[in-house]
């Protein structure tokens, strides 16, 4: 909710000013943000040299074994790099324009004498929008930086400076928000990166003994390749496992720490969960042939999400249960929300 003294004019140019200020020092900042990505790219480039040249060509003597090594290595590498590219360069999911509060409504909010009146203005504007989550004080989720009503599961990213659809977190290693548009790519990137590291580590183990016993010339690239791949695999296995767990529960990282609050039923971490298979398909799509290919197959538009409890809520609201003490306007608003949920409830079927 906007907290602004009565009579104070709204600064419409604040966001523009912040953008211009960031742009003045943007060259250095943008370059520094790409350092983690350049580091990952450098490690991948070095590992390619170490595995293909030092290990496969200079160390492996069996031709058949060398061919098999290189075939599987390049297959995994292509999927790994493809997923990483998609994660880094896919545009973030921005909030549609219909969620932006018009200037006339902002002026009314500024002229409001108290927060209750501000809340009513936002409630009236949000009545036509498909939002079913609220703040702790049952208010509409409003971003005073972007001057918009936040869609369900959307949050403001302080790094990108905008509200992002189904924001999971901002990842410096990809210099991008992990959100509705690239979440599938991010999961595949973690999975293929883990497979890449495990394969490289397992391929170098037999030659570690030969290096240690001095049966082959000391190739420190192979030695470092083993330890680096093991180190990255250890860090990736927990991260990948955690995000697979979140996918199966249809929950973002933010939602795992900050439970979403629904207009119907209050706080519920499992409010968006539709069952493990449906949760998986919401991110990866319903065509199993494309599940593990880094192309866009996620279901929905990033704004509307089917809910686990929409059927029982709609039935309760249509029957008027547990609403005896509520006003006709509140019941009408809930009826419209229930109708909306019922309309989109078959999205995953």
* Catalytic residue positions, numbered: 171
CA gap 21, 219 in Å, rounded: 50
Strand partners, 102: none
Query: Among candidates 317, 316, 315, 311, which has minimal Cα distance to 333?
Result: 317
Residue with tokens 């090594």: 69
Query: Among candidates 263, 261, 1, which has minimal Cα distance to 120?
Result: 1
Q: Where are the alpha helices (DSSP H) in 90-218?
A: 103-111, 115-126, 183-213
Neighbours of 75 (CB within 10 A): 11
Quick check: 262 and 337 in contact, CB under 8 A?
no
DSSP string, 196-226: HHHHHHHHHHHHHHHHHHTSS---HHHHHHH
Residue with tokens 């010339």: 217
Residue with tokens 């968006």: 272
What is the enclosing helix (H) or strand (E) of 240? helix 220-249
Quick check: 115 and 1 in contact, CB under 8 A?
yes
């Amino acid at each position: 909710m906007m907290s602004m003294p009565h009579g104070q004019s709204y600064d419409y140019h604040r966001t523009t000013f912040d953008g211009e200020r960031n742009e003045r020092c943007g060259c250095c900042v943008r370059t520094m943000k790409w350092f983690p990505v350049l580091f990952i790219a450098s490690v991948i480039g070095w590992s390619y040299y170490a595995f293909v040249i030092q290990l496969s060509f200079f160390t492996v003597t069996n031709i058949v074994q060398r061919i098999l090594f290189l075939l599987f290595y390049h297959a995994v590498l292509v999927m790994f790099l493809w997923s990483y590219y998609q994660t880094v360069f896919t545009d973030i999911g921005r909030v549609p324009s219909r969620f932006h509060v018009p200037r006339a409504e902002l002026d009314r909010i500024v002229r409001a004498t108290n927060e209750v009146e501000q809340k009513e203005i936002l409630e009236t504007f949000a009545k036509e929008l498909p939002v079913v989550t609220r703040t702790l004080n049952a208010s509409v989720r409003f971003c005073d930086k972007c001057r918009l009503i936040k869609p369900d599961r959307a949050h403001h990213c302080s790094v990108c400076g905008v509200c992002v659809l189904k924001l999971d977190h901002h990842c410096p290693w990809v210099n991008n928000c992990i959100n509705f548009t690239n979440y599938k790519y991010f999961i595949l990137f973690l999975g293929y990166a883990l497979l890449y590291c495990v394969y490289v580590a397992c391929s170098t183990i037999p030659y570690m003994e030969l290096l240690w016993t001095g049966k082959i010339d000391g190739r420190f690239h192979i030695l470092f390749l083993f330890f680096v791949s093991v180190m990255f695999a250890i860090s990736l296995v927990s991260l990948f496992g955690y995000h697979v767990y979140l996918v199966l529960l249809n929950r973002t990282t933010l939602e795992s720490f900050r439970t979403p609050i629904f207009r119907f039923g209050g706080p519920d971490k499992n409010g968006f969960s539709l069952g493990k298979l449906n949760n998986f398909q919401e991110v990866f799509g319903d065509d199993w042939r494309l599940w593990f290919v880094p192309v866009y197959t996620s279901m929905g538009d990033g704004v509307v999400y089917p809910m686990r409890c929409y059927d029982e809520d709609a039935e309760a609201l249509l029957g008027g249960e547990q609403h005896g003490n509520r006003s006709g306007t509140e019941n009408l608003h809930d009826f419209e929300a229930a109708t909306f949920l019922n309309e989109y409830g078959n999205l995953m079927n």
